[in-house]
């Protein structure tokens, strides 16, 4: 063990003991000088006077060493007891923190388990239907010098329909359109009803239509009046199991085609 590993109290006791020993050595040296001075003056030196300083200093050294050792040992034991108490308190606090964290994790997991079915039921299912609509057939041109072309009135609408359970409730619809030769992903080609995409567009909002087999269709018409290019069209319908409409704050109610 090095000096830096000792407790401050133990180190102080050791320094005090060392100071006592050094003081005893200084006294011994002073006594030795006095004896030398007495001999130089011719004063008689007896054995008793000669042994006196040595005996006193020896006792002082032994007492200082024993006291320093005892004090250092006592302080060391006291420091160990304080360290053990601090370690026990720290372990107790760590155990308490661990137990609290475990209870919190259990409560959080329980809350997630309770909220998961609700979140899943409201997340909804997305049904998509896509179609590629070819170029229109332009009417016959009276002049052969004129390039045949179509007008919007010449386009024949193509209806995209997604089939859903009859009890399903539609919460959102999304429309996508782009030229067939476009390399842009369809997910980045979202459009609105009536928005022209070149020479094509969705003509009306999606509407629902009941079917006799416990299903219903969500349909939207799409028209292409481009005589040279085909267009891709996609309808995405998000729905949830049938419940009351007021339970879905983001619901997108669709008009029924039967009422039009």
Q: What is the per-residue pLDDT for 26?
A: 75
pLDDT at position 37: 73
Give the per-residue pLDDT at 118.
46
| Report for 26-30, 59-63, 112-116, 176-180: range of highest mean pLDDT | 176-180
Least confident of 5-9, 69-73, 157-161: 5-9
Would you place residue 59 in the very low, low, confident or very high pLDDT band (cuts 50, 70, 90)? low
State the number of CA atoms in the 13 A half-sphere of 170 facing the CB. Answer: 26
Q: In the beta sheet, which residues pair with residue 237? A: 127, 173
DSSP state of 256: B
Q: What is residue 259's DSSP assignment?
A: G
The pLDDT value recorded for residue 55 is 59
pLDDT of residue 119: 46
Statement: residue 244 has pLDDT above 70: no
Asked whether the whole model's pTM tops 0.95, one would answer no
Mean pLDDT within 169-188: 91
Return the number of other C-beta atoms located less than 10 Å from residue 170's C-beta: 22
Q: Which residue has the tokens 């040279």?
A: 228
pLDDT at 191: 94
- The beta-carbon contacts of 197-201 under 8 Å, at least 24 apart in sequence, are 197/231, 198/226, 198/229, 198/231, 199/150, 199/224, 199/225, 199/226, 199/229, 200/133, 200/224, 200/225, 200/226, 200/231, 200/233, 201/177
Q: How far apart are CA 120 and CA 84, in angstroms?
A: 53
Chain-wide mean pLDDT for the chain? 77
Residue whose C-alpha is closest to residue 227's, from 129, 159, 140 = 140
Residue 20 per-residue DSSP state: H
Could you give phi then psi for residue 204, rounded to 5 degrees?
A: -140, 170
Are 227 and 141 in contact by the 8 Å Cβ rule? The answer is no
Which pLDDT score is estimated for 12?
67
**pLDDT confidence of residue 152:** 85
Rg, Å, the chain Cα set: 50
The HSE-up count of residue 53 (CA atoms within 13 Å, CB side) is 17
Q: Which residues contact 45 (CB under 8 A, 6 or more apart)?
A: 35, 38, 39
Model confidence at 77: pLDDT above 90: no
**b/e per residue 61-70 (b: at least 16 CB within 10 A):** eeebeeebee
pLDDT tens digits, 106-150: 888 777 765 554 444 456 789 999 999 999 888 776 555 566 788
Q: 50 in helix, strand or coil?
A: helix
Nearest of 162, 129, 125 to residue 238 by alpha carbon: 125
pLDDT (average), residues 66-79: 72
pLDDT in tens, 201-213: 999 999 998 888 8
């Amino acid at each position: 063990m090095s000096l830096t590993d000792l407790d401050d109290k133990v180190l102080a006791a050791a320094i005090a003991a060392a100071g006592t020993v050094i003081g005893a050595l200084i006294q011994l040296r002073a006594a030795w000088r006095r004896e030398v001075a007495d001999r130089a003056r011719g004063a008689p030196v007896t054995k008793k006077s000669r042994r006196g300083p040595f005996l006193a200093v020896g006792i002082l050294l032994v007492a200082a060493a024993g006291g320093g050792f005892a004090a250092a040992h006592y302080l060391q034991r006291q420091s160990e007891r304080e360290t053990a108490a601090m370690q026990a308190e720290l372990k107790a606090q760590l155990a308490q923190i661990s137990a609290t964290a475990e209870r919190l994790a259990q409560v959080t997991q329980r809350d997630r388990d309770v909220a998961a079915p609700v979140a899943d039921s409201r997340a909804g299912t997305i049904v998509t239907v896509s179609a590629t609509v070819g170029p229109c057939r332009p009417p016959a041109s009276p002049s052969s010098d004129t390039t045949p072309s179509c007008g919007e009135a010449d386009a024949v609408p193509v209806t995209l329909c997604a089939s859903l359970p009859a009890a399903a409730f539609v919460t959102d619809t999304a429309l996508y359109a782009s030229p067939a030769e476009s390399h842009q992903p369809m997910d980045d080609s979202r459009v609105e009803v009536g928005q022209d995409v070149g020479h094509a567009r969705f003509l009306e909002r999606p509407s629902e239509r009941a079917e006799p087999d416990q299903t219903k269709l969500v349909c939207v018409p799409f028209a292409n009046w481009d005589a040279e290019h085909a267009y891709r069209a996609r309808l995405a319908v998000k729905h949830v199991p049938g419940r009351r409409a007021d339970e879905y704050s983001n619901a997108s109610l669709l008009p029924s085609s039967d009422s039009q």
